[in-house]
């Protein structure tokens, strides 16, 4: 008999242990235990007192050994140094693609089910970068910054994951959601790499949609979308919007896929008000578990359980948070037992899930990395200096700031070309109606751009030194061109 696949098991906080018990009860009845060994690990709110990561060293070792985590909802302590364990896990282990499937389920009434509008699409969210890097600073007494990082290799990873999933599922179209009309470099590269990866999959249609229009379209005509791939923050927001279309987070499975570690979890809250009462709805965790079973090749078991879940919902069995209010709800365990009793049955209102024609479990992990991998996309790009942006803390007016800066750079290879405040140009042109704060961007550009190719960083540093004698410089940002294209944005009004 083949060696069992080992999976790190973290029941979670609040209602987590109850819904995890229900999911495992179903898996056991479907024969999953013949192929899988679940290994309990310590992770969650109770661990933060001992470790700000929210997980023990033993847990870290088990996750890295198994490469798969199945987890219930987890809380983060209010205050203190502990960060969200959900975010930490995804970033720590490079689980770069968050996959969520949103579909109308029988017995789960929504405005769309009442109107007969089918909802069935995937949201693929980049999981590592964007504002979720958590890089924040207080720049001045009045101004705070959150740095948004988008990398070309990170974009390539999530876009390729989306198209590979679409290919495997037979989905014929993928859309990219973005805000490249405003964030022309960060969302711009996300969209550019989407189009580049899409060219490798000519059999799949692709398109793009601005994020605000996407949100409106999903509410008006969700049936027009089958898969949408988005940057991290936008994907987080759209995922919850999409969950609202199908009845809430209690019906939204989630998988976080990485090269070495993948995490399958319920993304709803811990519901401490009903914890321990046996009332919780385990559907989300069960459906997330089905994504996990398919990930390791247990296609027949996953199809059998999915069909039993759908048949159970069709029959009207429901927990207290959804379903026909005229019928008595059941508890968590009774809900699981109803699904078990329907193993072998198929849904009547939709096409049944199909298995893998007897395929057996298969899961192979890449070799453990010996060091942090460096990913590259643009390996031959040439860059040259074009100038420098200096960010200043001052309460002076724009005209006086400009006058002083022009004196500083009078004999430098740079000239002052622009001042902006909160991204809007206020010098040499601008409007007196533009309200300012105590944080200016001063842009210096080369007087003679033809010398850019031979110039190093030293002149930029020297300019920084000179300006810092007159102003408090709170941030320094070189301006560079890449293959002759500007690698920095213009100000609003510039």
Report the chain's mean pLDDT, rounded to a whole number: 93
pTM above 0.85, yes or no: yes
Q: What is the pLDDT of residues 156-175, one digit of tens each?
A: 999 999 999 999 999 999 99
Q: Is the pLDDT of residue 362 over 80?
A: no
Mean pLDDT for 371-400 is 95
For the chain, domains (ranges, CATH) are 1-96+258-371 (3.40.718.10), 101-245 (3.40.718.10), 383-486 (3.30.70.1570)
Residue 122: pLDDT band (50, 70, 90) is: very high
| pLDDT at 444 exceeding the cut of 60 | yes
Is the Cα dihedral 132, 137, 142, 143 positive or negative? negative
Q: Would you report the helix, strand and coil content of the chain in percent, each value rounded to 5?
A: 35, 20, 45
Q: Name the percent of the chain lying above pLDDT 90.
A: 84
At residue 357, the pLDDT reads 66
Q: Residue 78's pLDDT is what? A: 64
**What DSSP line would sit under 267-282, residue for residue?**
-S---TTTTTTT----
Whose tokens are 């008000």? That residue is 273
The yes-or-no verdict on residue 82 having pLDDT over 70 is no
Q: What's the mean pLDDT in 105-126?
A: 95
Q: How many residues does the chain have?
A: 494
Average pLDDT score over residue span 224-237:
97
pLDDT tens for each residue of 331-345: 999 999 999 999 999
8 A C-beta contact, residue 440 and residue 392: yes
**Is the predicted pLDDT of residue 493 greater than 90, yes or no?**
no
Q: Among 35-49, 448-462, 470-484, where is mean pLDDT lowest?
A: 448-462
- Is 403 within 8 Å of 453 (Cβ atoms)? no
Q: What is the mean pLDDT of residues 471-489?
A: 95
Q: Is 292 helix (H, G, I), strand (E, B) or coil?
A: helix
> What percentage of the chain has pLDDT greater than the value 70?
97
Rounded average pLDDT over 31-36: 95
pLDDT confidence tier of residue 391, bands split at 50, 70 and 90: very high
User: Could you tell me the pLDDT band of residue 133, with boundaries at 50, 70 and 90?
Assistant: confident
Report how far residue 156's alpha carbon sits from residue 126's, in angstroms, rounded to the nearest whole number.
10
pLDDT of 410 reads 86
| pLDDT bucket at 363, cuts 50 / 70 / 90 | confident
Torsion on CA atoms 83, 87, 93, 97, rounded to nearest 10: -170
| Residue 383 CB contacts under 8 Å (≥ 6 apart), including other chains | 480, 481, 482, 483, 487
pLDDT at residue 120 greater than cutoff 60: yes
- Helix, coil or strand: residue 440: strand
pLDDT for res 439: 98
Q: Is 136 exposed, middle or buried (0-12, 13-18, 19+ CB in 10 A)?
A: exposed
Give the pLDDT confidence of 234-286 residue by residue, as tens digits: 999 999 999 999 999 999 999 999 999 999 999 999 999 999 999 999 999 99
Whether residue 288 contacts residue 253, with contact meaning beta carbons closer than 8 Å, is answered with yes
Which H or E element spans position 486? strand 485-486
- DSSP states of 197-225: HHTT-TTSEEEEEEHHHHHHHHHH-GGG-
Cβ distance 418 to 443 under 8 Å?
A: yes
CA 210 to CA 224: how far, in whole Å? 15
Give the mean pLDDT of 382-408: 96
């Amino acid at each position: 008999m083949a060696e069992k696949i080992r999976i790190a098991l973290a029941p979670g906080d609040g209602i987590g242990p109850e819904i995890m018990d229900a999911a495992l009860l179903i898996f056991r009845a479907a024969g999953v235990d013949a192929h899988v060994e679940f290994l309990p690990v310590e992770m969650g709110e109770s661990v933060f007192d001992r470790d700000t990561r929210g997980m023990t060293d033993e847990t870290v070792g088990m996750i890295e050994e198994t490469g798969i985590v199945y987890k219930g909802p987890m809380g983060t302590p209010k205050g203190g140094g502990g960060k969200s364990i959900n975010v930490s896990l995804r970033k720590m282990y490079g689980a770069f693609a968050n996959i969520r499937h949103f579909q109308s389920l029988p017995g789960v009434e929504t405005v769309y089910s009442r109107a007969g509008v089918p909802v069935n699409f995937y949201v693929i969210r980049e999981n590592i970068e964007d504002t979720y890097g958590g890089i924040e600073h207080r720049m001045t007494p009045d101004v705070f910054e959150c740095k948004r990082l988008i990398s070309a290799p990170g974009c390539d990873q999530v876009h390729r994951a989306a198209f590979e999933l679409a290919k495997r599922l037979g989905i014929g179209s993928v859309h990219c959601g973005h805000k490249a009309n405003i964030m022309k470099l960060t969302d711009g590269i996300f969209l550019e790499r989407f189009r580049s990866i899409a060219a490798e999959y000519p059999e799949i249609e692709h398109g793009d949609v601005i994020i605000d229009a996407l949100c409106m379209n999903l509410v008006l005509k969700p049936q027009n979308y089958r898969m949408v791939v988005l940057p991290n923050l936008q994907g987080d927001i759209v995922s919850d919007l999409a969950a609202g279309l199908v009845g809430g987070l209690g019906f939204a499975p989630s998988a976080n896929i990485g090269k070495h570690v993948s995490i399958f979890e319920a993304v709803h809250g811990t519901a401490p008000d009903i914890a321990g009462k046996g009332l919780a709805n385990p559907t989300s965790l069960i459906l997330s578990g089905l994504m996990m079973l398919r990930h390791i090749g247990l296609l027949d078991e996953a199809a059998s359980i999915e069909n039993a879940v759908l048949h159970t919902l069709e029959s009207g069995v429901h927990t207290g948070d959804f379903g026909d209010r005229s019928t008595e709800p059941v508890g968590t365990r009774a809900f699981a037992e109803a699904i078990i009793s329907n193993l072998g049955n198929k849904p009547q209102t939709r096409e049944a899930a199909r298995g893998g024609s007897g395929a057996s479990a298969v899961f192979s992990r890449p070799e453990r990395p010996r060091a942090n991998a460096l990913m590259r996309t643009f390996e031959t790009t040439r860059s040259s200096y074009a100038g420098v942006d200096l960010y200043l803390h001052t309460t002076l007016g724009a005209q006086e700031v400009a006058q002083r800066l022009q004196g500083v750079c009078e004999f430098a290879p740079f000239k002052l070309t622009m001042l902006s405040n909160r991204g809007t140009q206020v010098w040499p042109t601008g409007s007196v109606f533009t309200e300012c704060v105590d944080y200016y961007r001063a842009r210096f550009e080369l007087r003679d751009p033809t010398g850019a190719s031979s110039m190093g960083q030293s002149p930029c540093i020297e300019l920084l030194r000179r300006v810092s004698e007159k102003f408090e410089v709170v941030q320094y940002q070189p301006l560079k061109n890449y293959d002759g294209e500007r690698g920095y944005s213009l100000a609003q009004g510039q």
